[in-house]
């Protein structure tokens, strides 16, 4: 199996803990070979994959990306220091972006709920949403710049320790017909996937991903919760994902994270991330994407706004 | 505002057993109609009073007997979202007896027994306080703590579900630990909030004192026990984040005083404080507070702090019920804490000096002191 051709089929699934559908999705896809597991989002619990492995009849090989990352940082101290510094910069960027975003979101809400004449209100509301979109874009640009500078300076994939791990990964993947990427801590997961450049190793294998795993597949990872214990619910852009699923923003676990009956809020999400398609993934839902296009979906909730057409 | 009507219906039904039964089956008690709450006692008596602990209202108010009946009633205006604990004082055969309301199944338990609970319009018992079948439960184990200050002590230690020695955890130390477990259901609360990612996984030491009125009253020995005995022991035994931001003292009433005074005696060690209905008695003149000699050392401590407030922690969450007399002391403390540069959040509730009040504030307090990975973890 080639290691350089882009993955052609990606299957995004709803959360798996209570209503697992992965085995059925694998069966339906016709994958007969072993399946490489990525459970790096579970961090220290990465190797607690018995249940997942059992569901897949033991045909699994865990790529241990979290453990590899920890090992790598011990093997290549100089790189580890630089990586930590970069992460600190990214965290600081996230903090200042969030500060600005809070004000922008509040302005949009106040305008939307104001009693101004409709024509004026709609125009100003659009301007508010444009300002939020600009902020999101600015944040993504800053993150990309930091990453590009880091990659230029440190050329991670050429460092011997990372190259050695990538060699191990290529070997492990050789027997696998698919990669299954579980949820967990989305920032850690994206971090580990990018650290080892897994997107360049997946090749034409089918990818199954859910929760944080599905978020990591997209072009931009959007964090969200509508009912947090502190403050007003909001969403924010974390960073770029692997970009294997273009023009799609993934919202897992809508049952407990999204107020889908709050239509103005849903409309805001759709307008904010347009032209990308915003899809919520309740349990048992799925989307099949081939060559970047949604070819089949089941049980998902499209977050749209009035007058919007669903992009493919 | 609409006037209460339901009690008139019950009075007019008196003498018709089936109508009374139908009324009782069709209503919850006390009768809540907007801001009007009607307490009802049925049965022979010479006098019936409602006894409650709402600061600002008469602590004993007499019910009126409907003419030619054994039906007693009293209507009060109680603001929305209130919780009021009460009992009936029923006088029969020349003696008075305090009884729970037989018509009201809502009870609040505490170390002294149980009270009936009035929930006014709008109050909802938080669902995160109830066991959730999908939540992974933590465990509680008993740990002995050798103490230079007190000899040997024991604490009950909560370990979160999926606890691992390879992880690092924040530490909470909870005063009156057994009462917090029994009367706030704090294990269930921790299980739920951790499962929902609203707080991080944490290790919690539930500590008790055999002599709390002395040890919790700004006592130097108690502060030394927590800081020099319990903390090092816990740090050696469990994988804790060894930083002030990951150490929290929790307490209610005298327990809040013990938490705050420990932080004051060891500034910079305990980076988080959760102080509920603290008994922060003080005086503006003289040394003796109206609350009596039990408070003398507390008055001395709080007066000294008021004289020279300083930052002793990083984040302090303070809560108090507006129906308790301590609201004055707590409202007085907050600006002082604020002035030191510590991050302070103060929350008031329409509730009294009781465990359900303290339970209901745990989510807000803990998630502010220790924000969970809610926005980052998608399982």
Query: Which one, of B294, B297, B205, B288, lies nearest residue B251 by Cα?
Result: B205
The CATH code of the domain that includes A199 is: 3.40.50.880
A7 pLDDT band (50/70/90 cuts)?
Answer: low
To the nearest whole number, what is the mean pLDDT of chain A?
94
Q: What are phi and psi of B144, to 5 degrees?
A: -85, 140
Look at residue A310 and tell me if it is in a domain. Answer: no
Please report residues of A whose CB lies closer than 8 A to that of B162.
45
Mean pLDDT of A71-90: 98
Query: Is the per-residue pLDDT at B84 higher than 50?
Result: yes
Same domain, A60 and A185: yes
Same domain, A130 and A217: no
Same domain, A31 and A180: yes
Q: Does any CB of chain A come closer than 8 Å to the CB of residue B374?
A: yes
Contacts of B196 in chain A (CB under 8 A): 256
pLDDT value at A312 more than 50: no
pLDDT at A3: 43
How many domains would you assign to chain A?
2
- List the one residue out of B154, B251, B244, B137 whose CA is nearest residue B201: B137
Q: Does some domain include residue A293?
A: yes
pLDDT tens column, B269-328: 999 999 999 999 999 988 888 888 899 999 999 999 999 999 999 999 999 999 998 999
Per-residue model confidence (pLDDT) at position B193: 98
Q: Which residue has the tokens 């055999």?
A: B210
A247 and A124 share one domain: no
CATH of domain B127-369: 3.40.50.1820
Give the residue from A212, A230, A255, A280 with the most B CB atoms within 10 Å of its CB, the best one to mutate: A230
What's the whole-number mean pLDDT along residues A30-40?
97
A202 and A289 in a single domain? The answer is: yes
pLDDT of res. B323: 92
- DSSP readout, B127-168? GGGS--TTSPP-EEEEEEEEETTTEEEEEEEEE-TT--TTS-
* A190 and A42 co-located in one domain: yes
Provide the pLDDT confidence category of residue A1 given band limits of 50, 70 and 90.
very low
At residue A193, does pLDDT exceed 60?
yes
* Tokens describing residue B206: 């539930």
- Contact B378/A45, CB-based, under 8 Å? no
Q: What is the mean predicted confidence (pLDDT) over A303-310?
A: 71
The SS3 call for residue B15 is coil
What is the domain partition of chain B in residue ranges? Answer: 6-119, 127-369
| Residue A149 and residue A91 in one domain | yes
Judge if A59 and A104 occupy the same domain.
Answer: no
Strand partners, A222: A237
Provide the β-strand partners of residue B96. Answer: B91
Is the per-residue pLDDT at A309 higher than 80? no
**Mean pLDDT (whole number) for A284-301:** 95
| pLDDT in the model for residue B131 | 97
The span from the CA of A5 to the CA of B22, in Å, is: 75
What share of chain B has pLDDT > 70, as a percent?
99
Residue of A nearest to B373 (CA): A185
Interchain CB distance below 8 Å, B368 and A185 = no
Q: Does B374 contact A228 at a Cβ distance shorter than 8 Å?
A: yes
Max CA-CA distance within chain A? Answer: 64
The CA distances from residue B344 to B157, B274, B316, B334, in Å, are 27, 10, 5, 7
The burial class, CB within 10 Å (0-12 / 13-18 / 19+), for B337 is buried
The answer, yes or no, to whether residue A311 has pLDDT greater than 60, is no
Closest residue of B to A226, CA-based?
A: B375
Q: Which residue has the higher pLDDT, B2 or A281?
A: A281
Residues on chain B touching A186 (C-beta within 8 angstroms): 376-378
Predicted pLDDT of residue A118: 85
With respect to residue A171, please indicate whether it lies within any of the assigned structural domains: no
Tell whether A182 and A143 lie within a shared domain.
no
* pLDDT for the residue numbered B170: 98
pLDDT of residue B363: 98
On the question of pLDDT at A161 being above 50, the answer is yes
Q: Indicate if A140 and A224 belong to the same structural domain.
A: no
Are A87 and A42 in a shared domain?
no
Determine whether domain B6-119 maps to CATH 2.60.40.10.
Answer: yes
Residues in chain A with CB shorter than 8 Å from the CB of B368 are 229-230
Phi and psi dihedrals of A231, rounded to 5?
75, 180
Question: A214 pLDDT band (50/70/90 cuts)?
Answer: very high
Is B379–A44 a contact, with Cβ atoms under 8 angstroms apart? Answer: no
Partner-chain residue, chosen from B167, B364, B373, that has the shortest CB–CB distance to A229:
B364
Q: Is B363 on the interface with A (CB under 8 A)?
A: yes
From chain B, the residues in CB contact with A229 under 8 A are 193, 198, 363-364, 367-368, 372, 374
Mean pLDDT, residues A161-167 taken together: 98
Instruction: Write out the residue range of the structural domain in which residue A262 sits.
Output: 9-64+176-303
**Average pLDDT rounded to a whole number, residues B343-355:** 95
Provide φ and ψ at A105, rounded to 5°: -65, -40
| Contact between chains at B378 and A236 (C-beta distance less than 8 A) | no
Q: What is the mean pLDDT of residues B339-359?
A: 96
Q: Is the pLDDT of residue A2 over 70?
A: no
Across the interface, do B379 and A211 touch by the CB < 8 Å criterion?
yes
Nearest to A128 by CA among A109, A114, A143, A141: A109
A308 confidence band (pLDDT: 50, 70, 90): low
Do the Cβ atoms of B375 and A184 come within 8 Å?
no
What pLDDT does residue A4 have? 41
Q: Is residue A311 part of a domain?
A: no
Q: Does residue A252 form part of some domain?
A: yes
Across B162-188, average pLDDT: 96
pLDDT digits (tens, 9 = 90+) for B189-209: 999 999 999 999 999 999 999
**For B99-128, what is each residue's pLDDT tens digit?**
999 999 998 888 888 999 999 888 988 999
* Closest listed residue to residue A95, CA positions, set A127, A34, A139: A139
Q: In this prediction, what percent of chain B has a pLDDT beyond 90?
A: 87
pTM exceeds 0.80 for this model: yes
């Amino acid at each position: 199996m080639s290691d350089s051709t882009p993955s052609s089929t990606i299957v995004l699934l709803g959360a798996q803990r209570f209503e697992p559908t992965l085995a059925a999705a694998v069966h339906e896809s016709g994958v007969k070979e072993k399946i490489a597991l990525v459970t790096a989002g579970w961090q220290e619990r990465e190797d607690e994959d018995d249940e997942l492995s059992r569901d897949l009849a033991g045909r699994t090989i865990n790529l241990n990306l979290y453990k590899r990352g920890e090992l790598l940082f011990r093997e290549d101290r100089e790189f580890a220091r630089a990586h930590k510094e970069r992460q600190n910069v990214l965290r600081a960027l996230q903090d200042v972006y969030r500060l600005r975003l809070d004000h922008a979101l509040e302005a949009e809400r106040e305008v939307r709920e104001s009693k101004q004449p409709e024509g004026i209100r709609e125009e100003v509301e659009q301007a508010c949403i444009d300002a939020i979109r600009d902020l999101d874009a600015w944040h993504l640009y800053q993150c990309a710049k930091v990453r590009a500078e880091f990659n230029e300076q440190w050329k991670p994939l050429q460092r011997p320790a990372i190259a050695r791990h990538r060699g191990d990964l290529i070997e492990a993947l050789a027997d696998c017909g698919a990669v299954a990427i579980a949820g967990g801590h989305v920032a850690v997961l994206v971090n580990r996937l990018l650290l080892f450049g897994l997107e360049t190793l997946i090749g034409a294998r089918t990818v199954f991903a859910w929760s944080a795993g599905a978020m990591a597949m997209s072009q931009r990872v959007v964090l969200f919760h509508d009912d947090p214990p502190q403050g007003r619910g909001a969403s924010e852009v974390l960073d770029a994902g692997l970009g294997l699923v273009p023009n799609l923003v993934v919202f897992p676990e809508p049952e407990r994270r999204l107020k889908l009956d709050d239509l103005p809020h849903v409309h805001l999400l759709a307008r904010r991330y347009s032209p990308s398609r915003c899809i919520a993934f309740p349990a048992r839902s799925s989307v099949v994407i081939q060559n970047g296009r949604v070819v089949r979906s089941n049980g998902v909730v499209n977050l749209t706004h009035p007058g919007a057409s669903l992009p493919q | 505002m609409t006037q209460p009507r339901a009690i008139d219906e019950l009075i007019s039904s008196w003498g018709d057993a089936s109508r009374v039964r139908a009324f009782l089956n069709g209503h919850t008690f006390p009768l809540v109609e907007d801001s009007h709450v009607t307490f009802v006692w049925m049965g022979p008596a010479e006098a019936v009073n409602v006894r409650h602990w709402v600061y600002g209202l008469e602590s004993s108010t007499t019910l009126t007997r409907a003419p030619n009946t054994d039906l007693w009633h009293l209507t009060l205006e109680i603001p929305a979202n209130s919780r009021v604990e009460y009992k009936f004082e029923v006088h029969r055969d020349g003696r008075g007896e305090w009884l729970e309301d037989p018509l009201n199944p809502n009870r609040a338990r505490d170390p002294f027994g149980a009270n009936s609970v009035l929930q006014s319009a709008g109050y909802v018992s938080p669902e995160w306080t109830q066991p959730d079948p999908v939540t992974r439960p933590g465990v509680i184990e008993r740990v002995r703590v050798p103490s230079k200050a007190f000899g040997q002590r024991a604490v009950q230690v909560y370990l979160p579900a999926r606890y691992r020695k390879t992880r690092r955890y924040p530490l909470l130390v909870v005063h009156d630990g057994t009462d917090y477990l029994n009367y706030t259901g704090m294990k269930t609360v921790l299980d739920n909030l951790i499962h929902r990612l609203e707080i991080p996984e944490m290790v919690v030491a539930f500590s008790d004192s055999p002599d709390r009125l002395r040890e919790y009253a700004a006592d130097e020995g108690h502060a030394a026990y927590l800081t020099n005995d319990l903390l090092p022991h816990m740090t050696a035994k469990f994988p804790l984040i060894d930083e002030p931001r990951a150490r929290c003292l929790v307490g209610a009433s005298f327990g809040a005083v013990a938490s705050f005074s420990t932080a004051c005696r060891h500034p910079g060690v305990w980076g988080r404080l959760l102080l509920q209905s603290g008994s922060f008695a003080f005086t503006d003149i003289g040394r003796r507070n109206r609350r009596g000699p039990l408070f003398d050392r507390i008055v001395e401590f709080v007066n000294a702090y008021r004289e020279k407030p300083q930052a002793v922690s990083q984040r302090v969450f303070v809560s108090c019920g507006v129906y308790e007399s301590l609201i004055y002391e707590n409202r007085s403390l907050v600006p002082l804490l604020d002035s030191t540069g510590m991050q302070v959040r103060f929350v008031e509730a329409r509730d009294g000096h009781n465990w359900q009040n303290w339970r209901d504030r745990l989510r807000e307090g803990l998630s502010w002191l220790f924000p969970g990975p809610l926005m980052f973890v998608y399982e």
